[in-house]
Structure 1
Amino acid sequence: MTAYFVLSTGRCGTQWLTETLQQWDDNFVVVHEPLHFGYRPDLNTVQQPLLHNSDMLEQHLHQIRQHLHSGKHYIETGFPCWRHLHWFKQQLDHTVKVIHIHRAPLDTVASLLKLNAFVPSFWPHLTIKNLYLPGAEQDFLHQYQELWPQLNPAEKNLWYWAEVQYQAIKYQQQWPAQDWLSLSFSQLFSAQGKQQLTHFLGYPNAVCWPVQDIVDQFGLGLVHTQTDYPVLSKLDELNQLAKRLGYPAPFANSN
């Protein structure tokens, strides 16, 4: 039996993917964000995955093992597990495969802002939805972490996008090639991408694709947020990372 994890920033079609896979076969246990923010990707790191919510994470690991030992494949979609994939690979006595779904950087930012990620709330009793916080020395932009307090919400979302993609590249270098599949957001909805996905999941005869068009839910954010990048547009590292993933440099004319 195999455990599959989707690695993404979120806002990359994972809810659609979940609903699709749940209709394929009873041999799949398919869950979307089972712990939601219980993974604490803002505070836990790849190097220290159990700093926070360790009991919850260990219990989740136990439940995954139970699914696998019962003869079911396990598929987890959603973004919060992105810093725990190496831990799962170490802890599970089954093959762990990864589906990396990525999206163009500024499109990702625009979509995340619809969920008010990193946006201060109107209401003081509500906490900011921090999907990531800088700190780990191994992070992509660690050398610039003193800039974090100066960033607006759009820039913090872009920084988060960069950290997830950089970690995905590092993971891929450590993973067997046959256990890794990378798809862009647009490829996920293409005929070729669907074919790649079905073969990767070992289900080449899957025919159930309930939604054919790309859907980006939450058309309006609750807070109107600017989308300029006065600080991060100066960092060429973001241009290089985007190009490495096959996207145009977002700030090609800014330097």
Structure 2
Amino acid sequence: MVGYFDRFLRRHMNALRLARWGEPAFADHPGPIVVYCNHPAWWDAAVVILLAGRLFPKRASHAPFDARMLERYAIFGRIGAFPVDLDSARGAAQFLKASRTILARPKAMMWITAQGRFADVRARPLDLRGGVARLPELAPDTLFVPLALDYAFWEERGAEACAAFGTPLQGADLLALPRPERLARMEAALAETLDRLAVDVIRRDPARFTALVSGAKGVGGVYDLGRRLRATLTGRRFDPAHRAGQDRMNRDRIAEEDRLP
């Protein structure tokens, strides 16, 4: 499925980008990890699968999935998704029962779209569902990591899928808080990560990101064929990207800024 969605994203998007400041540094955590994110688009499942496969290949990933949707997309059940009835009280019990089993495994990893519904990336408050705040009670050694997801159109015809991991929260620290405060702390951490990611997305500067997947550039077809022919006749290297050359200049500039005291 990682290979499938890699090809799928290359065909339909310009890139999957991970903010340089939001790259994960917690893969070696000795206990389980819960990544909880916002839920802005249908693409979230594909992005999560790619992030899990590319960045955490040694961990077994799991995710709660709307039970009705899982019936339609049964393939997800074969790669770690488990059903949760979102429209009944039984769903909360399903979620906690499955989570208890998963988080008992030290190398397990859960990915949760904690809003439980599609919501615009700019909407505030985030209104995370309360179930995610119950998880520290099941496994205090779990690391809880906010993940911000955002999508935007820049200069290319395909959209940019942008992601950033926030500062991890220790399960034991969250457990020391009452449930309402615990949920508020987790929501604040995700909102902070989203706001910081939005700054980079608005700047539209690919050099601020690491491209995990890159799609085809340019318009394609006869138009790009003509551009390639003109470049060949004039002895120039053909780059189909709309920002040809600019991204490399920006990367060099940021690298130089990083070297400054």
Whether the TM-score (by the shorter chain) exceeds 0.5 is: no
Which of the pair has the greater relative contact order for Cα pairs under 8 Å at 6+ separation?
Answer: 2
TM-score by structure 1 length? 0.26
TM-score by structure 2 length? 0.25
